[in-house]
């Protein structure tokens, strides 16, 4: 079996791929060293293997911020590279690094998530820690001070239910619990929770109460997929600079077929893709710099449909996971295709050559 991609993370303008061999590849802009290749102020146009002995063959998850990267390995360790302007790497007062550096902690990690300039980690015993930029109180640590090392979010330490998912926008952090409750800290707290605090607060919305399956966060917006109805609700700047209060995305019902539901949501800055159980990609908002894509409606993305099964979005681009039939048999393999600002679609080829 050859190399296939099993997970993708998109930053502002850099992309990282985890392969079935649990190796990591990076491509794109490395202005702050976020590609982990030992270089800054450079652009890589093809994915390059991050050949580092501490992560080779054991990359579990990767997360990308605006210009920083976090890597989680199967043995519960985390590594970081890129900008550390606000302490988002968790490497104390160290300046940003273009090399992959281990973040030494006294506990093992099971999940990671990057916001624009902040980072969240969840330990194996379900404690949550945060570091980085905190001007909007998105760290949930009780004040507005930035953190150069990971600090515990104590309000989340003794919850009755475990944290199922963490999602970060540039200004917010969202926590979905196993029972469907939603906690938030940051810029959208008043809209979701009816109060403003410097620590995570449970949403008071009756719509979201015990009913959130997952969250997808963009630059300054969030989409909530509900458990019972499969409805999608959104909050924030979902299409433009105008802030929209929590509301149901009614346009989806007009384009979904009978028995079709949204399986996956991917948010960029001002564009969003919805991938359905029918392998269709639907889109809304602004995708390219010079045009509005579905500004007032949700429409089907004509490329790759009905072969898409997941998507990952950066600032102004989206990477698609697609099924491609190899021959007349039933066997399929997965490959990646991406959209870019020039509207050119390109197969992303992963190879072992350097």
Encode pLDDT of 187-227 as tens digits. 998 888 888 888 899 998 888 989 999 999 999 999 999 99
Encode pLDDT of 89-98 as tens digits. 999 878 899 9
Q: What is the CATH classification number for the domain harbouring 30?
A: 2.130.10.30
Residue 272 placed within a domain: no
- For 137, the 3-state DSSP assignment is coil
**Predicted confidence (pLDDT) at residue 270 exceeds the cutoff of 90:** no
Q: Is there a single domain that holds both residue 153 and residue 287?
A: no
- The residue among 325, 319, 327, 315 whose CA lies nearest residue 348 is 319
**Predicted confidence (pLDDT) at residue 42 exceeds the cutoff of 60:** yes
Q: How many CA atoms lie within 13 A of 135 on its CB side?
A: 5
pTM over 0.85: yes
CA 97 – CA 85 distance, rounded (Å): 11
What is the tally of structural domains in the chain? 2
Residue 288 placed within a domain: yes
Expressed as residue numbers, the domain containing 338 is 277-354
First to last CA, the chain: 20
Residue 297 placed within a domain: yes
Q: Which value, in Å, is the radius of gyration of the alpha carbons in the chain?
A: 19
Encode pLDDT of 318-342 as tens digits. 888 877 543 333 333 344 444 433 3
CA 172 – CA 112 distance, rounded (Å): 15
Residue 193 placed within a domain: no
Residue 188 placed within a domain: no
- The residue among 188, 182, 184 whose CA lies nearest residue 153 is 184
Residue 206 placed within a domain: no
- 């930029």: which residue's tokens? 133
Residue 232 placed within a domain: no
Asked if residue 149 lies in contact with residue 90, where contact means CB atoms within 8 angstroms, the answer is yes
Last residue of a domain, one of 105, 135, 158: 158
Distance of CA 159 to the CA centre of its chain: 24
Q: Is there a single domain that holds both residue 285 and residue 153?
A: no
Q: Is there a single domain that holds both residue 22 and residue 153?
A: yes
Question: In whole angstroms, how far apart are CA 217 and each of 155, 171, 210, 303?
Answer: 22, 10, 19, 24
Residue 25 placed within a domain: yes
How many residues in total does the chain contain? 354
Most confident of 172-181, 188-197, 279-288: 172-181
For residues 153-184, b (16+ Cβ closer than 10 Å) or e, as one string? Answer: bebbeebeeebbbbbbbbbbbbbbbeebbbbb
The pLDDT of residue 305 is 62
Asked if residue 320 lies in contact with residue 18, where contact means CB atoms within 8 angstroms, the answer is no
Q: Is the backbone of residue 277 left (phi > 0), alpha (psi -120 to 50) or beta?
A: alpha
Q: How many CA atoms lie within 13 A of 123 on its CB side?
A: 17
The pLDDT of residue 287 is 59
Last residue of a domain, one of 123, 158, 193: 158
**Total Cβ atoms within 10 A of residue 346:** 13
The pLDDT of residue 297 is 66
Last residue of a domain, one of 134, 158, 182: 158
């Amino acid at each position: 079996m050859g190399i296939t991609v099993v997970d993708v993370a998109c930053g502002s303008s850099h992309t990282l791929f985890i392969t079935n061999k649990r190796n990591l590849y990076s491509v794109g802009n490395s202005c702050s060293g976020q590609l982990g290749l030992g270089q800054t102020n450079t652009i890589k146009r093809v994915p390059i293997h991050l050949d580092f002995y501490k992560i080779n063959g054991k990359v579990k998850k990767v997360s990308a911020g605006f210009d920083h990267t976090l890597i989680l390995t199967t043995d519960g360790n985390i590594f970081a590279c890129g900008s550390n302007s606000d302490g988002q790497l968790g490497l104390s007062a160290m300046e940003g690094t273009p090399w992959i550096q281990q973040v030494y902690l006294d506990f093992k990690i099971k999940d990671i998530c990057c916001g624009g300039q902040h980072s969240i980690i969840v330990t194996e015993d379900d404690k949550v820690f945060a570091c980085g930029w905190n001007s909007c109180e998105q760290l949930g640590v009780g004040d507005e001070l930035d953190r150069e090392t990971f600090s515990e979010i104590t309000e989340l330490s003794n919850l009755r239910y475990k944290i199922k998912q963490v999602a970060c926008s540039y200004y917010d952090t969202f926590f979905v619990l196993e029972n469907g409750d939603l906690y938030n800290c940051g810029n959208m707290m008043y809209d979701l929770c009816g109060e403003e605090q410097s620590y995570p607060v449970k949403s008071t919305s009756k719509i979201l109460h015990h009913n959130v399956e997952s969250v997808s966060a963009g630059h300054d917006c969030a989409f909530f997929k509900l458990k019972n109805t499969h409805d999608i609700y959104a909050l924030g700047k979902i299409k433009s600079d105008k802030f929209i209060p929590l509301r149901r995305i009614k346009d989806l019902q007009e384009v979904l077929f009978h028995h079709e539901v949204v399986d996956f949501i991917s948010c960029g800055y001002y564009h969003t893709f919805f991938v359905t159980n029918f392998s269709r990609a639907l889109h809304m908002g602004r995708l390219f710099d010079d045009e509005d894509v579905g500004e007032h409606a949700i429409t089907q993305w004509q490329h790759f449909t009905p072969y898409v099964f997941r998507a990952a979005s950066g600032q102004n681009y989206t990477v698609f996971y697609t099924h491609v039939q190899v021959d007349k048999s039933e066997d399929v393999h997965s490959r990646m295709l991406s959209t870019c600002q020039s509207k050119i679609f390109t197969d992303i080829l992963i190879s072992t050559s350097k």
